[in-house]
Chain A
Amino acid sequence: MSARSRRIRRGALLAGFFGTLILLVGVVLSSYVQSGDSQLSAYDDDWNDISAFRRDVNDMGIQTRSVVSSPLLLKEIDDPGNATFVISGVEKDAFSMPHFGESGFIEFDEPDGYSTAEIEAIVDFYKANGTVIVMDDFGFSSGLAEAFGWQFNGNQLYDSLYAPTLNSSFVWTCLQIEPCGMSNLTVDPATHKSHPLWDGAHPCALAASESIVSEEDAGLCAHHLEGGMISYNSTYQILMNGPTILENATKSSKLGVSQAIASTSRDASIDVNGDGEVMVGQEQNEETPDRAASIEGNFVVAVEICESRCESSGENMEGRVIFVADGSVLSNAMYDYEGYNSGEYTDGTPAVEMPANDNRKWALDVIALALLTDTNGSLEPNENALVIFDESRHSQNAFLGESYNMIYWILVYFTSESMAMLVLFVALFIAFEAVVIKKKDPEPWRHVFSIIYYGFGDARRYGYYAKSNKIKQVFLSRVRNNNALTREEFDAMPATELQQMIEDPVLVKFVFENRDYSLEQLVTIVKRIKVWGKT
């Protein structure tokens, strides 16, 4: 093959290789370049995002941060007791490797949504007195919930306690032990009761008797400020959009005590098969696949978990996790219903108004409860107060945002998770080895004089030339040449004449006797042949 065709072939192979590589990388990256509509993001201003909540938090003088890579970064929080981690909808599952289990062996089963290491990071944050709010419905939060002994059902909840001006997906619930009732297409205020855990213990409740001059002095309880006084009321009428329910997980948890803080009415049901119709019976079968609260008891839609007791607040505040079975409970449309109704989040005024609700009040009270811990009675947030929004499980609108998140996630994952760190160590070791073994600096140029070339003869013939027959043939040729005879003349010559020509009796005997000769004898004969004819 000529050098030119080799070059062409090599070029084609290289082009093919890099073309395939670019195609593969492109296919992978393209899914991260621009994904579908994002929602529940603290940094977008659509009706289904939660930017209004973030703005309120910021306005209260609290720092807000987002985690776009992985909750593993919660380990880096200096003061978890003054931080709140908000998970609003877990839209994506994430890649995770097998991990080291509690027994020390490698475990291959990984929960959905968050990896084991990420859940551990969240649990550690909770144990360090951090507050976690998890709002999800059909997403991937069950892995996290199971760590605390709960799980998201994942089927849509329908209840007679719904907002009839909207549709049956918008369900009302009250944060109280007994579910509230309905009256004239809305929640009956007569059935309102106080929050089962916060009543009397909430920092805003403790400050209720104090005289507050300005909104600034009201600090994190400013939303309760009425006529120069904080009028804290622990009743919460929460509006949810397409919620599911929370159920006890198959494995119990020892991470704290948990209490359901909100439940459905007895008329609630779950659309198990997702056909939009609710068919219930005493037994769950093909004809009546759905579930009803009237048979199973009230469904739980919100749970609060604390390390020992959730009634503590202020300096005695412990880690707290609140699960709400609706990811959109803080969405701008419901959280800031006034703004929504005025068309702030939509193109024009919406056709149907969002009913008034206590979603904002509840969310800000959670923040106040979580962050008013070591303020010495002040309602101002601590300077370390921090609210962190988990954006790592949301689709990103920004160009290449997903790719950026992916790369950032890889970086955080491989420097925080034990198995990934082990893999990374091995990879670094291999990289070093590869550099040591493969990376060679080119040799210094120097001229090497080299003309070592030999043309060898045919060594196989040496043995042949030591045989008596060959020696005899060579000798007879010498005799013929010396006597200027042709081959024919020589062949026709009588033996006696040849003997006379040779003269030497030893050589005559050598020519005419066929027998084996020893090496010494052949040497003697060759010596005689050499001198033959020269005298």
Chain B
Amino acid sequence: MWTRKASFTFVGGIALLLVGMMISNHQLMIFGLSLIAFITVNSWLAGHGDVEVSRTLSADNLYKGDDLYVELVVTNRSLRRTQMLEVYDNIPHEMKLRTGLNSMRLNLGPGETARIRYSIRCPLRGHFSLGPVSLRFRNTFNLFMEEMYIPHHSDMIIFPQVTDIEEAYIKSRTPKMYTGATTLKNSGPGTEFYALREYVPGDPFKMINWKASAKTGDGTLIVNDTCRDAVTDVYILLDSRDVSRIGTVLKNPLENNTIAAASLASFFLKRRDSVAMAIYDEKLSYLQPDTGDKQYFKILSSLAGVAPKGNMPLQAVTNSLAPRFSRGSPVFILSSAEGDGTAPHAIRDLVGRGHEVVLLSPSSVDFERLVSRIPRMSYEVLKIERQNRMTALAGFGATVIDWMPDMELSQAMLQARGY
């Protein structure tokens, strides 16, 4: 591609040549021809973008707000100099450059390598990709320029933030539901002592009770049998309907809900509970209850990709999933409870099935106030109406937490005691 400078020079050369011919001025013609010749010769001396690029990330998965360190290695594999080579690593506009620059102007000789290091902050959750690498090479006089892309991508997932939740905050009126691994008086894998029994092939050696074995006197090996640990199933229902987008990009009910879901999942999975999660927007996505890091990764990955859309009512979710819920297991509903007339009935059904229902409800009116100038009186009436709704939902047996925008999750959980 011709640069503006080259276009001016060439058109100027032609103009000088023609004007020189018009007025029979040889000096002008020669000058014009020189300019044209200069452009012509330069067009043969363009740079190139025949480089090899590789990118290294400090992590593939991060939490929202974390910094990511990137190193881009550019190597000239050609036998010619690159001349003026501009390298630009495309990063999503949602990420903020913290240190360094994601672009560099290079003039690499054959085989030479350059490294571009920079760090970015990821303020938004989601699935992102770094790349491609854009190259723009020019010749020495900046007369000709070409652009190309090297389709080198690095995918990464930005998980929602996970905050610490103190155990006391989520204790309910039925404490045994939240003790995590609860002991059942049956023999099986676990940590608590249950009884002594004779060794059978297959038992791990660490279970052998050497003192008890010695006491038998006949060489019989005795092992410590343990109580089987059982886990509590925890269900999280995340409202990702379109109505949950109200607010700013960083502060809106959906963002709060994802933080709450990630934090709750982290809390319960650390306690070896089994966590299930359902996300409802225009459709229902359901993760079966499971334990462990794998389940944690699944939940975080799902939460990273959540976007507000659709308008599925809560009762449709509970009608579909409630039969699969373990009896008596706690259910966390993360929803602003806006624009869903089925919420009271859904909660009533869940409570009726014996579930402990906690409704963590970001106050959408207050999120809306961050972006809209709501008249004072209308705001007060809206708030009263919301309080009415919360009161009604509490009246159906749910523990209702009204979560204000400027409130940390742990603070919000404190309100659970109030209901």
Contacts and interface: CB of A to CB of B under 8 A. Distances in A.
A529 B395 contact: no
Contacts of A529: 384
A31 interface: no
Contacts of B94: 449-451
B15 A442 contact: no
A530 B173 CA distance: 29
Contacts of B11: 428, 431-432, 435
Contact of B93 (A449, A457, A478): A449
A456 B4 contact: no
Given A445-B134, A451-B94, A456 B378 contact: no
A457 B246 contact: yes
Given A415-B18, A442-B136, A474 B388 contact: yes
A482 B394 CA distance: 11
A424 B374 contact: no
B80 interface: no
Interface of A is mostly: helix
A446 B86 CA distance: 11
B79 interface: no
Interface string A440-482: 1110011111111111110101110110001100110110011
A450 B123 CA distance: 11
Given A435-B4, A465-B378, A530-B384, A449 B97 contact: yes
Nearest to B371: A454
Contacts of A471: 381
B388 A465 contact: no
Contacts of A519: 377
Contacts of A278: none
A462 B395 CA distance: 28
A100 interface: no
B201 interface: no
Nearest to A452: B249
A450 B384 contact: no
B264 interface: no
A408 to B, nearest CB: 12
A482 B391 CA distance: 8
A414 B388 contact: no
Contacts of B392: 481
A523 B123 CA distance: 41
Given A435-B11, A440-B4, A448-B93, A456 B246 contact: yes
B4 A441 contact: yes
A522 interface: yes
Interface string B351-369: 0000000000000100010
A453 B3 CA distance: 36
Nearest to A522: B377
A474 B381 contact: yes
Contact of A76 (B14, B24, B371): B24
Given A415-B18, A457-B246, A466-B381, A442 B395 contact: no
Interface string A475-492: 101100110100000000
B381 A465 contact: yes
Nearest to B29: A415
A477 B388 CA distance: 7
16 contacts: A414-B18, A428-B14, A428-B19, A441-B3, A441-B4, A441-B145, A446-B103, A451-B249, A453-B249, A455-B246, A457-B364, A457-B372, A457-B374, A465-B385, A478-B388, A527-B380
Interface of B: 2-5, 7-8, 11, 14-15, 18-19, 21-22, 24, 86, 88, 91, 93-97, 102-103, 123-124, 134, 136, 145, 147, 245-250, 252, 308, 364, 368, 371-372, 374-375, 377-378, 380-382, 384-385, 387-388, 391-392, 395
Given A435-B7, A441-B3, A482-B391, 16 more contacts: A442-B136, A445-B88, A445-B134, A447-B97, A447-B102, A450-B94, A451-B93, A451-B249, A453-B249, A454-B248, A456-B371, A457-B246, A466-B381, A474-B388, A478-B388, A526-B381
